[in-house]
Chains A and B, each alone.
Chain A
Amino acid sequence: MAFTHLFLGLVFTYLIGAALSLALHRNDRSVTYASFMSSFLASVFGIIFSLSVMYGDTFVINIPGSSILQFGVSIDKLSAFFILVISITSLAVSIYSIGYVTEYFGKKDVGYLGFLFNIFILSMILVVSVSNAVMFIIVWELMSIISYFLVIYEHEKSETRKAGLIYIIMTHVGTGFIILSFLVMASVAGSFNFESFKGIGGQLSPAFKDMAFLFALIGFGTKAGIVPLHIWLPYAHPAAPSNVSALMSGVMIKTAIYMMIRFFFEFLGVDTLWWGILLLLVASISSLLGVMYALMEHDIKRLLAYHSVENIGIILIGLSVSMIFMSARQPELAAFGLIAALYHLINHAMFKSLLFMGAGSIIFSTHTKDIESLGGLIKKMPWTAFFFLIGSMSISALPPFNGFVSEWLTFHAQLLSTNLSINLVTILVLGSGAALALTSALAAACFVKAFGISFLALPRTVPAENAKEVPNTMLAGMGILSFMCIVFGISAYYVVGILDSLSEPIVGIGIASNITNVFTIGTIPSFAGSISTTWIALLLILFMPLPIILFRSSLTSKYETWGCGQPRSTARNEYTATAFSKPIRKWLENIYRPHREIYTTYANSHFFKTSFKFESHIEDVFEQYLYNPFIELTLAISRSFRVIQTGSIHAYLAYIFAVLMILLISIITGGI
């Protein structure tokens, strides 16, 4: 009963927040507090509610409806885990937003933003709660459309409108495939309730089963942002306000992973080997290409958006390895892979939202997204820099932060593939380990670039020079998630235990007692490899003072950076982000296909050059070779339809008449 109150309280707090935002929208300051304090409060409810479900029983509200539409919710441990992830993130983002939206005071309608913000979080929570496919499509669409309105919040910019268009098209293509996959399921189940979908795979014919899998993969993959369906992410995330990008990238794309787990494991049942292999290939390619394009990006939000593609890839590597084990009837190993995936999922929600908020803080105080024109922010914005650094180290998988634990688990999940009987599959899975290693090394390179160029050394432009630390509420939001990054890093053994209780009902076996020990996590069997991030953290802290004690420091003097004997070096001497990524651009030329052009204007003769213009950009292979031909084809077909569009009313009347005649004939002949 208490659960019901909590859940309804959570739903209504979001609704009240939304209503208050609309009611108070004339007063910027009060609407800010009203809307974001309600979402904060609702997030607190969400955390309490999800934890009590995770440590308790499945929570169900059944409202009787037809077999097609039913308004019930059913929240098991997996749903509760996603509500927890959404709530922790939205708690931090809500606090952050109180400071962040002051940016829009007097310029935009903050009440409108607060309204969408509350409804958006609520729709995500409903997506992971509802227990009926039709209801699911409704809340899924609600989430997509609300997030579309959030993406085009700054619609006066033309690139924002373009981003919104790409997003809404892609997301609807995805929804189309989701509907198809649900229809395949319902055709056998006879009902749209998820309860009746469970284990439906056994009743489907193999061809229909594969079809349902592929439709679901494309449908949810579009939302998750797997390559090549990722193209909306680098447009939509940068266009949205930063607090919204934090939610979209941190948690919205995870709802797709939630449904993939439900769909593949619970509904279809994974017993086909090639599903896992296909997903593994897609995931490896996503992670590699995601990070590769991120490295070439200088727009900090686009960079982070590409990293989302990368991290979704890493999550799906864990998931696909788990599926491969599942199809090989090795539930223990499947549980390990699933734990790795879920662990990376919550980690990514923490550090990616943190990084997007950090990017938002940079934009808040410098009004630029281009890292080439930043620099030296660590002195102007020390706390933002510190939090961004923690986020960068977490996403680069450095111990003892959280990203390291989940990548370690993923590596070991891959290594466990030696238990498979088909050599080729084992080699493939181990080979994907090399892809993951390359991904994580490139991610580290990318974040040395992102942090180093924007925060360190000297400011490159006047806005960076005049940057100021952001308001305390924004810092608090980032601080919470930084703290969570550390907590999820050093208490790995505890988190793994919780995640195991989620995966147990899905794969049918719990392995927590085999892989966790006090402060330690290990692999199966019997700790063949183990780490203890708690001890690593303690050792690091223990050894940190050692050099200071050994070499007690006395005098340090300040002097200018050595500039080869030239006069004082300035910001113009600093390495740029373009230069930093040059070796990798050159190495991976075949993927990036860089274009370089130099325009020179001459005065009178060839000896007197007046100006140079250097231009360099890389080609987005997917847009160029996959989407553009498709768009052109669509346009060409549409153009050919113009023939029948004469513009003359007589012709249209003739068409109507013709259609009518055909219909009448078909009825008279008894229908065909």
Chain B
Amino acid sequence: MLEQFVLFIFQLLVILALAPLLNGLIKKLKAFFQIRKGPPLFQSYHDLLKLMRKDSVVSENTSWLFNVVPVISFASVLSAGLMIPIFTTALPFGFAGDLIAVVYLFALARFSIALAALDTGSSFGGMGASREMFIASLVEPAMILSIFAVAINVGTTNIGFISTDVLSQGITALSPSHLLAFVAFFIISIAETGRLPVDNPATHLELTMVHEAMILEYSGKQLAVIELGVMMKQLLVFSLLCNIFFPWGISSGLNAGIVASIIVFSVKILVLGICMAIVESTTAKWRLFRLPDLMSISLMLAFLAVVFSIIMRGE
């Protein structure tokens, strides 16, 4: 019981503490590829602290919903975090939600932020909400199919078990369908974390914004909560990519292996971050109506992954 509680607190602290660092890391990597110096690694913490000290300005058009949404989106992402292994596959709340539940918890966060965006009555909010829900509709089928592909390979959808199952299969786990599902999921994660070519997290250019347009009216502490939620989601999506598809090195509990696990995870995140930074530095933002092409690629890959795993299951 005590161990479970310690794990619970540990997981919470890891998510809350690491999320801004990952954000800083990606910014730094992007700056490296663009031959800039970039903001310091810990800039995101400073930004959040600064926002927390500030007062909020709230639009007169808004209702109570606007004030509740940051809290809901934060809570739903954090709850999802308890079901996703980061340093260890021992998750006290691993039973409470599987991969599908995580997807829907993220959907809860998205749904609430989209409503808040409409609540301000600004055209930007509506535009952002409309596009976000559009992109979500493109992402969801590919997401479910790649979840199916993974689940067929390992026989479970609870993420902690997926990691241990893939570990126990050893190198044979890297089947074609596993890798295809990984690529599909990588494309999805670009959309889920709002990165180029789907959305540009660094822009406030009116006509290209998606996520930024939705939270345009937020300020001060509320903005800090939303930003932290977004950073947490980014960390969680990356952890999913690392620990579902390449869980090697993850520890099975709060034991000596945790130090090695932290190091291995950092390396994996760094590699992923570099991949993301390369993608972001080499592509321009796509037109909104070209995104269905990108997402159909992901959908097709995920479908192929499913087909592969079904055909190869007899062997």
Contacts and interface: CB of A to CB of B under 8 A. Distances in A.
A455 to B, nearest CB: 8
Interface residues of A, number: 92
Contact of A575 (B108, B126, B225): B126
B96 A531 contact: yes
Given A418-B152, A430-B310, A540-B79, A399 B224 contact: no
B5 interface: no
Interface stretch (A86-94, A297-305, A554-562): A554-562
B74 interface: yes
Nearest to A448: B114
Interface in A397-443: 397-399, 404, 407-408, 411-412, 414-415, 418, 423, 426-427, 430-431, 433-438, 440-442
Contact of B140 (A412, A440, A587): A440
B4 to A, nearest CB: 13
A399 B108 contact: yes
B55 A555 contact: yes
Contacts of B310: 418, 423, 426-427, 430
A408 B101 contact: yes
A529 B299 contact: no
Interface string B140-160: 111111001001100111100
Nearest to A442: B137
B120 to A, nearest CB: 5
Contact of B133 (A378, A445, A564, A576): A445
A396 interface: yes
B257 interface: no
Interface in B115-148: 115, 118-127, 129-131, 133-134, 136-145, 148
Nearest to A568: B60
A398 B311 contact: no
Contacts of A451: 115
B66 to A, nearest CB: 9
A379 B63 contact: yes
B305 to A, nearest CB: 10
Interface string B142-183: 111100100110011110010000000000000000000000
Contact of B224 (A418, A544, A551, A573): A551
A441 B121 contact: no
B270 interface: no
A576 B125 CA distance: 11
B55 A554 contact: yes
B205 to A, nearest CB: 13
A224 interface: no
A581 B133 CA distance: 9
B101 A587 contact: no
A625 interface: no
Label chain A's interface by main secondary structure.
Answer: helix
Interface in A563-593: 563-564, 569, 571, 573-576, 579-584, 586-587
A546 B16 CA distance: 11
Label chain B's interface by main secondary structure.
Answer: helix
Contacts of B120: 457, 561
B105 interface: yes
Contacts of A397: 104, 107
A561 B62 CA distance: 9
A15 interface: no
A426 B314 CA distance: 13
A547 interface: yes
B264 to A, nearest CB: 26
B82 to A, nearest CB: 7
A440 B103 CA distance: 12
Nearest to A560: B60
B221 interface: yes
A546 B81 CA distance: 15
Contacts of B311: 423
Contact of B144 (A434, A442, A444, A574): A434
A530 interface: yes
A653 interface: no
B65 interface: yes
A553 B56 contact: yes
Contact of B82 (A539, A557, A562, A584): A539
B122 A536 contact: no
B60 A543 contact: no
Contacts of B197: none
**Max chain B C-beta neighbours (<10 A), residue from A431, A539, A557:** A539
B216 to A, nearest CB: 7
B70 interface: yes
A530 B161 CA distance: 11
B76 A437 contact: no
A385 B65 CA distance: 10
Given A529-B100, A530-B98, A553 B79 contact: no
A456 B118 contact: yes
A418 B142 CA distance: 18
Interface in B251-288: 288
Contact of A557 (B57, B108, B155): B57
Contact of A558 (B60, B145, B152): B60
Contacts of B131: 583
A437 B140 contact: yes
A453 to B, nearest CB: 7
Contact of A560 (B59, B74, B161): B59
A458 B121 contact: yes
A452 interface: yes
A393 interface: yes
Given A529-B156, A539-B79, A547 B71 contact: yes
A529 B157 contact: yes
Contact of B123 (A458, A532, A574): A574
Interface string B90-116: 000101111111001101101100110
A196 to B, nearest CB: 42
Contact of A559 (B57, B95, B303): B57
A523 B313 CA distance: 20
A207 interface: no
Contact of A573 (B75, B99, B108, B122): B122
Interface in B188-212: 206
A14 to B, nearest CB: 40
B52 interface: yes
Given A457-B121, A527-B95, A574-B126, A561 B156 contact: no
B58 interface: yes
Interface of A: 376, 378-379, 382, 385, 389, 393, 396-399, 404, 407-408, 411-412, 414-415, 418, 423, 426-427, 430-431, 433-438, 440-442, 444-445, 447-449, 451-453, 456-458, 520, 523, 527-532, 535-536, 539-548, 550-551, 553-564, 569, 571, 573-576, 579-584, 586-587
Interface of B: 52, 55-65, 70-72, 74-76, 78-79, 82, 93, 95-101, 104-105, 107-108, 110-111, 114-115, 118-127, 129-131, 133-134, 136-145, 148, 151-152, 155-158, 161, 206, 216-217, 220-221, 224-225, 228, 288-289, 292, 299, 303, 306-307, 310-311, 313
Q: Which 9 A-B pairs have the closest CB atoms?
A: A575-B126, A529-B157, A452-B118, A457-B121, A445-B133, A441-B140, A437-B144, A543-B75, A583-B134
Given A546-B78, A573-B121, 8 more contacts: A376-B61, A397-B104, A433-B148, A441-B133, A452-B114, A528-B151, A547-B71, A582-B130
20 contacts: A393-B111, A399-B97, A404-B101, A408-B104, A411-B100, A430-B310, A433-B148, A434-B299, A438-B137, A448-B129, A451-B115, A452-B114, A456-B63, A536-B97, A536-B105, A541-B75, A551-B52, A556-B58, A583-B288, A587-B134
